[in-house]
Amino acid sequence: QVIKCKAAVMWEANKPFSIEEVEVAPPKAHEVRIKIVATGICRSDDHAITGALLTPFPVILGHEAAGVVESVGQGVTSVKPGDKVIPLFIPQCGECSSCTSHKGNLCSKTDLGSGAGFMPDGTTRFTCKGKAVHHFVGTSTFTEYTVVHESAVAKIDSAAPLEKVCLIGCGFSTGYGAAVQTAKVEPGSTCAVFGLGGVGLSVVMGCKAAGASRIIAVDINSDKFAKAKELGATDCVNPKDFKDPIHKVLIEMTGHGVDYSFEVIGRIETMTEALACCQHNYGVSVIVGVPPAAQKINFDPMLLFTGRTWKGSVFGGWKSKDSVPKLVADYMKKKFVLEPLITHTLPFTKINEGFDLLRTGK
Protein backbone atom coordinates (compact mmCIF):
# COMPACT_ATOMS: atom_id res chain seq x y z
CA GLN A 1 0.00 0.00 0.00
CA VAL A 2 0.80 3.69 -0.14
CA ILE A 3 3.17 4.91 2.60
CA LYS A 4 2.82 8.41 4.03
CA CYS A 5 6.12 9.82 5.26
CA LYS A 6 8.30 12.92 5.52
CA ALA A 7 10.31 14.16 2.55
CA ALA A 8 12.30 17.28 1.69
CA VAL A 9 10.49 18.63 -1.36
CA MET A 10 12.08 21.24 -3.63
CA TRP A 11 9.07 23.09 -5.10
CA GLU A 12 11.09 25.46 -7.30
CA ALA A 13 14.68 26.43 -8.09
CA ASN A 14 16.79 28.45 -5.64
CA LYS A 15 14.38 28.01 -2.72
CA PRO A 16 14.92 26.15 0.58
CA PHE A 17 13.72 22.57 1.00
CA SER A 18 10.24 22.21 2.40
CA ILE A 19 9.68 19.26 4.78
CA GLU A 20 6.34 17.84 3.65
CA GLU A 21 4.19 14.75 4.11
CA VAL A 22 4.34 12.81 0.86
CA GLU A 23 2.63 9.66 -0.39
CA VAL A 24 4.98 7.00 -1.73
CA ALA A 25 3.25 4.50 -4.01
CA PRO A 26 4.03 0.78 -3.76
CA PRO A 27 6.71 -0.61 -6.10
CA LYS A 28 5.54 -1.81 -9.51
CA ALA A 29 7.07 -4.82 -11.29
CA HIS A 30 10.89 -4.83 -11.04
CA GLU A 31 10.88 -1.97 -8.51
CA VAL A 32 12.01 -1.78 -4.90
CA ARG A 33 10.74 0.44 -2.07
CA ILE A 34 13.46 1.41 0.40
CA LYS A 35 13.36 2.92 3.89
CA ILE A 36 16.20 5.46 3.76
CA VAL A 37 18.33 5.37 6.94
CA ALA A 38 21.11 7.83 6.03
CA THR A 39 21.73 10.18 3.12
CA GLY A 40 24.70 12.34 2.23
CA ILE A 41 24.54 15.86 0.80
CA CYS A 42 26.37 16.21 -2.51
CA ARG A 43 27.21 19.27 -4.57
CA SER A 44 25.27 17.72 -7.49
CA ASP A 45 22.06 18.08 -5.46
CA ASP A 46 22.92 21.77 -5.04
CA HIS A 47 23.56 22.06 -8.80
CA ALA A 48 19.99 20.84 -9.36
CA ILE A 49 18.68 23.54 -6.99
CA THR A 50 20.57 26.33 -8.79
CA GLY A 51 19.76 25.08 -12.29
CA ALA A 52 23.36 24.13 -13.17
CA LEU A 53 22.07 20.54 -13.46
CA LEU A 54 18.74 20.45 -15.29
CA THR A 55 15.87 18.79 -13.43
CA PRO A 56 12.11 19.38 -13.43
CA PHE A 57 10.31 20.70 -10.31
CA PRO A 58 8.78 19.88 -7.90
CA VAL A 59 11.36 17.22 -7.10
CA ILE A 60 12.74 15.09 -4.28
CA LEU A 61 16.53 15.35 -4.59
CA GLY A 62 19.23 13.19 -3.00
CA HIS A 63 21.25 10.35 -4.53
CA GLU A 64 23.88 9.28 -1.95
CA ALA A 65 22.24 7.02 0.61
CA ALA A 66 21.79 3.69 2.32
CA GLY A 67 18.68 2.00 3.65
CA VAL A 68 16.65 -1.15 4.14
CA VAL A 69 14.30 -2.77 1.61
CA GLU A 70 10.67 -2.31 2.76
CA SER A 71 8.91 -4.12 -0.10
CA VAL A 72 9.55 -5.35 -3.64
CA GLY A 73 7.47 -5.46 -6.81
CA GLN A 74 6.77 -8.48 -8.95
CA GLY A 75 9.76 -10.19 -10.50
CA VAL A 76 12.42 -8.70 -8.21
CA THR A 77 15.04 -11.33 -7.40
CA SER A 78 18.23 -9.51 -6.34
CA VAL A 79 16.90 -8.09 -3.04
CA LYS A 80 14.20 -8.91 -0.50
CA PRO A 81 12.50 -7.03 2.36
CA GLY A 82 14.93 -6.49 5.25
CA ASP A 83 18.06 -6.39 3.07
CA LYS A 84 20.48 -3.50 3.62
CA VAL A 85 20.95 -1.70 0.31
CA ILE A 86 22.49 1.32 -1.46
CA PRO A 87 20.47 3.01 -4.23
CA LEU A 88 22.41 3.56 -7.47
CA PHE A 89 22.09 6.78 -9.48
CA ILE A 90 24.00 4.98 -12.25
CA PRO A 91 22.03 1.76 -12.64
CA GLN A 92 23.37 -1.45 -14.18
CA CYS A 93 20.79 -3.02 -16.47
CA GLY A 94 23.28 -5.60 -17.76
CA GLU A 95 21.94 -5.32 -21.32
CA CYS A 96 22.93 -1.95 -22.88
CA SER A 97 26.20 -1.38 -24.78
CA SER A 98 27.95 0.21 -21.77
CA CYS A 99 26.85 -2.55 -19.38
CA THR A 100 27.99 -5.32 -21.75
CA SER A 101 31.34 -3.60 -22.45
CA HIS A 102 34.26 -3.89 -20.04
CA LYS A 103 35.24 -0.33 -21.04
CA GLY A 104 32.34 1.63 -19.56
CA ASN A 105 29.84 1.91 -16.74
CA LEU A 106 27.34 4.59 -17.83
CA CYS A 107 24.20 2.44 -18.19
CA SER A 108 21.76 3.78 -20.78
CA LYS A 109 18.95 3.46 -18.21
CA THR A 110 20.33 6.31 -16.08
CA ASP A 111 18.32 9.52 -15.80
CA LEU A 112 21.58 11.50 -15.43
CA GLY A 113 21.82 13.83 -18.40
CA SER A 114 18.25 13.43 -19.67
CA GLY A 115 16.85 14.70 -16.36
CA ALA A 116 13.32 13.50 -17.12
CA GLY A 117 12.58 12.99 -13.41
CA PHE A 118 10.54 9.82 -13.77
CA MET A 119 10.82 6.10 -13.13
CA PRO A 120 11.81 4.09 -16.24
CA ASP A 121 8.10 3.65 -17.13
CA GLY A 122 7.63 7.43 -17.39
CA THR A 123 5.64 7.88 -14.17
CA THR A 124 6.41 8.95 -10.60
CA ARG A 125 5.85 7.21 -7.24
CA PHE A 126 5.67 10.45 -5.22
CA THR A 127 2.67 12.68 -4.57
CA CYS A 128 2.46 15.73 -2.31
CA LYS A 129 -0.62 17.89 -1.71
CA GLY A 130 -2.25 16.17 -4.67
CA LYS A 131 0.63 17.02 -7.03
CA ALA A 132 2.97 14.57 -8.71
CA VAL A 133 6.57 15.06 -7.52
CA HIS A 134 9.53 14.19 -9.77
CA HIS A 135 12.28 11.70 -9.01
CA PHE A 136 15.97 12.70 -9.15
CA VAL A 137 18.45 10.51 -11.11
CA GLY A 138 16.34 7.46 -10.31
CA THR A 139 17.11 7.53 -6.58
CA SER A 140 15.49 10.49 -4.67
CA THR A 141 16.92 9.87 -1.20
CA PHE A 142 15.80 13.02 0.68
CA THR A 143 12.73 11.14 1.88
CA GLU A 144 12.01 8.52 4.53
CA TYR A 145 10.89 6.08 1.78
CA THR A 146 11.78 5.98 -1.90
CA VAL A 147 11.15 3.69 -4.88
CA VAL A 148 13.91 2.66 -7.29
CA HIS A 149 14.18 0.26 -10.22
CA GLU A 150 15.75 -3.11 -9.43
CA SER A 151 18.69 -2.25 -11.72
CA ALA A 152 19.37 0.76 -9.46
CA VAL A 153 19.86 -0.94 -6.11
CA ALA A 154 22.70 -3.02 -4.63
CA LYS A 155 22.43 -5.39 -1.69
CA ILE A 156 25.27 -4.89 0.81
CA ASP A 157 26.74 -6.56 3.92
CA SER A 158 24.06 -6.72 6.64
CA ALA A 159 26.65 -5.62 9.24
CA ALA A 160 27.62 -2.43 7.37
CA PRO A 161 27.00 0.87 9.26
CA LEU A 162 24.54 2.66 6.95
CA GLU A 163 25.43 6.15 8.22
CA LYS A 164 28.99 5.59 6.93
CA VAL A 165 28.60 3.43 3.80
CA CYS A 166 25.95 5.76 2.36
CA LEU A 167 28.99 7.68 1.01
CA ILE A 168 29.75 4.71 -1.25
CA GLY A 169 26.50 5.62 -3.05
CA CYS A 170 28.25 8.60 -4.63
CA GLY A 171 31.00 10.76 -3.12
CA PHE A 172 33.59 8.21 -2.05
CA SER A 173 33.16 5.85 -5.01
CA THR A 174 33.15 8.71 -7.52
CA GLY A 175 36.44 10.17 -6.28
CA TYR A 176 38.30 6.98 -5.38
CA GLY A 177 37.30 5.32 -8.65
CA ALA A 178 38.33 8.33 -10.76
CA ALA A 179 41.88 7.68 -9.53
CA VAL A 180 42.07 3.88 -9.43
CA GLN A 181 39.65 2.99 -12.24
CA THR A 182 39.39 5.85 -14.75
CA ALA A 183 42.91 7.34 -14.59
CA LYS A 184 44.54 4.09 -13.42
CA VAL A 185 47.12 6.07 -11.43
CA GLU A 186 50.44 4.21 -11.28
CA PRO A 187 52.89 3.78 -8.40
CA GLY A 188 55.45 6.60 -8.24
CA SER A 189 53.38 9.02 -10.34
CA THR A 190 52.52 12.65 -9.57
CA CYS A 191 48.91 13.82 -9.27
CA ALA A 192 47.08 17.12 -8.87
CA VAL A 193 43.57 17.25 -7.37
CA PHE A 194 41.51 20.41 -7.92
CA GLY A 195 38.80 20.77 -5.26
CA LEU A 196 38.93 19.25 -1.78
CA GLY A 197 35.31 18.53 -0.95
CA GLY A 198 34.28 14.96 -0.08
CA VAL A 199 34.81 13.75 -3.65
CA GLY A 200 38.17 15.50 -4.05
CA LEU A 201 39.40 14.02 -0.77
CA SER A 202 38.30 10.60 -2.06
CA VAL A 203 40.41 11.20 -5.19
CA VAL A 204 43.36 11.94 -2.88
CA MET A 205 42.72 8.62 -1.10
CA GLY A 206 42.55 6.82 -4.46
CA CYS A 207 45.84 8.36 -5.64
CA LYS A 208 47.49 7.34 -2.39
CA ALA A 209 46.08 3.79 -2.56
CA ALA A 210 47.43 3.54 -6.13
CA GLY A 211 50.92 4.44 -4.88
CA ALA A 212 51.33 7.99 -6.23
CA SER A 213 54.56 9.52 -4.90
CA ARG A 214 53.32 13.11 -5.01
CA ILE A 215 49.75 14.30 -4.58
CA ILE A 216 49.24 18.06 -4.93
CA ALA A 217 45.94 19.26 -3.49
CA VAL A 218 44.55 22.52 -4.93
CA ASP A 219 41.77 24.58 -3.33
CA ILE A 220 40.97 28.25 -2.72
CA ASN A 221 39.90 27.34 0.83
CA SER A 222 43.07 26.66 2.87
CA ASP A 223 40.96 25.32 5.77
CA LYS A 224 40.70 22.10 3.75
CA PHE A 225 44.45 21.45 3.63
CA ALA A 226 44.87 19.73 7.01
CA LYS A 227 42.38 16.99 6.13
CA ALA A 228 43.83 16.60 2.63
CA LYS A 229 47.28 16.00 4.18
CA GLU A 230 45.81 13.55 6.70
CA LEU A 231 44.39 11.53 3.77
CA GLY A 232 47.56 11.51 1.69
CA ALA A 233 48.21 14.88 0.00
CA THR A 234 51.93 15.69 -0.05
CA ASP A 235 51.57 19.36 -1.06
CA CYS A 236 48.71 21.84 -0.74
CA VAL A 237 48.38 24.86 -3.02
CA ASN A 238 45.99 27.82 -2.82
CA PRO A 239 45.74 29.53 -6.25
CA LYS A 240 44.99 32.82 -4.46
CA ASP A 241 48.59 32.86 -3.16
CA PHE A 242 50.05 33.18 -6.68
CA LYS A 243 50.02 35.76 -9.47
CA ASP A 244 50.56 33.14 -12.18
CA PRO A 245 47.76 30.86 -13.41
CA ILE A 246 47.71 27.69 -11.33
CA HIS A 247 48.78 25.39 -14.20
CA LYS A 248 52.06 27.31 -14.45
CA VAL A 249 52.59 27.00 -10.70
CA LEU A 250 52.09 23.21 -10.89
CA ILE A 251 54.39 22.84 -13.90
CA GLU A 252 57.04 24.77 -12.00
CA MET A 253 56.57 22.63 -8.89
CA THR A 254 56.96 19.39 -10.83
CA GLY A 255 59.37 20.41 -13.60
CA HIS A 256 57.20 19.05 -16.44
CA GLY A 257 53.62 18.95 -15.19
CA VAL A 258 51.81 16.16 -13.35
CA ASP A 259 51.12 12.67 -14.68
CA TYR A 260 47.47 12.80 -13.63
CA SER A 261 45.16 15.69 -12.81
CA PHE A 262 41.57 15.65 -11.55
CA GLU A 263 38.99 18.44 -11.71
CA VAL A 264 36.57 17.81 -8.85
CA ILE A 265 34.71 21.13 -8.76
CA GLY A 266 32.59 21.40 -11.90
CA ARG A 267 33.94 24.74 -13.22
CA ILE A 268 35.02 25.09 -16.84
CA GLU A 269 37.94 27.40 -15.89
CA THR A 270 39.47 24.79 -13.59
CA MET A 271 38.87 22.03 -16.16
CA THR A 272 41.17 23.77 -18.66
CA GLU A 273 43.73 24.57 -15.91
CA ALA A 274 43.72 20.89 -14.89
CA LEU A 275 44.31 19.84 -18.49
CA ALA A 276 47.10 22.39 -18.95
CA CYS A 277 48.95 21.34 -15.76
CA CYS A 278 49.45 17.73 -16.81
CA GLN A 279 52.52 16.51 -18.70
CA HIS A 280 52.34 17.73 -22.33
CA ASN A 281 52.76 14.31 -23.95
CA TYR A 282 51.40 11.54 -21.73
CA GLY A 283 49.56 13.44 -19.00
CA VAL A 284 45.97 12.41 -18.25
CA SER A 285 43.33 14.83 -16.95
CA VAL A 286 40.01 13.56 -15.60
CA ILE A 287 36.81 15.61 -15.27
CA VAL A 288 35.05 14.39 -12.12
CA GLY A 289 32.92 17.41 -11.15
CA VAL A 290 29.54 17.74 -12.92
CA PRO A 291 29.97 20.38 -15.65
CA PRO A 292 27.47 23.26 -15.48
CA ALA A 293 24.60 23.14 -17.99
CA ALA A 294 24.76 25.45 -21.03
CA GLN A 295 28.44 26.39 -20.60
CA LYS A 296 31.07 25.70 -23.25
CA ILE A 297 34.84 25.37 -22.94
CA ASN A 298 37.28 27.29 -25.12
CA PHE A 299 40.76 25.82 -25.11
CA ASP A 300 43.86 25.63 -27.28
CA PRO A 301 43.78 22.30 -29.20
CA MET A 302 47.59 22.23 -28.99
CA LEU A 303 47.01 21.07 -25.39
CA LEU A 304 45.70 17.78 -26.81
CA PHE A 305 47.69 17.59 -30.04
CA THR A 306 50.94 16.85 -28.20
CA GLY A 307 49.45 13.73 -26.62
CA ARG A 308 47.59 14.59 -23.45
CA THR A 309 44.43 12.63 -22.68
CA TRP A 310 41.25 14.34 -21.44
CA LYS A 311 38.74 11.99 -19.87
CA GLY A 312 35.48 12.08 -17.98
CA SER A 313 34.47 9.80 -15.13
CA VAL A 314 30.96 9.13 -13.86
CA PHE A 315 30.59 7.28 -10.53
CA GLY A 316 34.32 6.52 -10.64
CA GLY A 317 33.93 4.19 -13.60
CA TRP A 318 32.48 1.45 -11.35
CA LYS A 319 29.81 -0.89 -12.68
CA SER A 320 27.43 -0.04 -9.88
CA LYS A 321 25.51 -3.21 -9.03
CA ASP A 322 28.68 -5.34 -9.21
CA SER A 323 31.06 -2.92 -7.49
CA VAL A 324 29.12 -1.28 -4.65
CA PRO A 325 28.82 -4.49 -2.57
CA LYS A 326 32.58 -5.09 -3.07
CA LEU A 327 33.44 -1.53 -2.02
CA VAL A 328 31.33 -1.98 1.12
CA ALA A 329 33.15 -5.25 1.81
CA ASP A 330 36.51 -3.46 1.37
CA TYR A 331 35.39 -0.78 3.84
CA MET A 332 34.43 -3.50 6.34
CA LYS A 333 37.94 -4.97 5.87
CA LYS A 334 39.38 -1.49 6.64
CA LYS A 335 40.96 -1.13 3.19
CA PHE A 336 39.94 2.55 3.27
CA VAL A 337 38.33 4.97 5.73
CA LEU A 338 35.12 6.97 5.35
CA GLU A 339 34.99 8.69 8.74
CA PRO A 340 37.16 11.72 7.80
CA LEU A 341 34.73 12.55 4.97
CA ILE A 342 31.87 13.02 7.46
CA THR A 343 32.07 16.52 8.94
CA HIS A 344 28.54 16.88 10.35
CA THR A 345 25.61 14.62 11.17
CA LEU A 346 22.22 16.34 11.29
CA PRO A 347 18.63 15.23 11.75
CA PHE A 348 16.67 15.07 8.49
CA THR A 349 14.59 18.15 9.36
CA LYS A 350 17.78 20.27 9.37
CA ILE A 351 18.58 19.52 5.72
CA ASN A 352 18.61 23.24 4.83
CA GLU A 353 21.33 23.81 7.46
CA GLY A 354 23.29 20.97 5.89
CA PHE A 355 23.20 22.70 2.51
CA ASP A 356 24.28 25.97 4.13
CA LEU A 357 27.33 24.12 5.53
CA LEU A 358 28.07 22.74 2.05
CA ARG A 359 27.81 26.16 0.41
CA THR A 360 30.13 27.78 2.96
CA GLY A 361 32.77 25.09 2.45
CA LYS A 362 32.33 23.57 5.90
Q: Which of 47, 134, 135, 149 is catalytic?
A: 47
* Known catalytic membership, residue 99: no
Q: Which of 93, 170, 191, 277 is catalytic?
A: 170
* Known catalytic membership, residue 247: no
Closest CA to 276 of 244, 245, 256, 303: 303
* Known catalytic membership, residue 5: no
* Known catalytic membership, residue 47: yes
Q: Which of 30, 42, 101, 202 is catalytic?
A: 42
Q: Which of 44, 98, 151, 261 is catalytic?
A: 44
* Known catalytic membership, residue 222: no
Active-site residues, by number, are 42, 44, 47, 63, 170
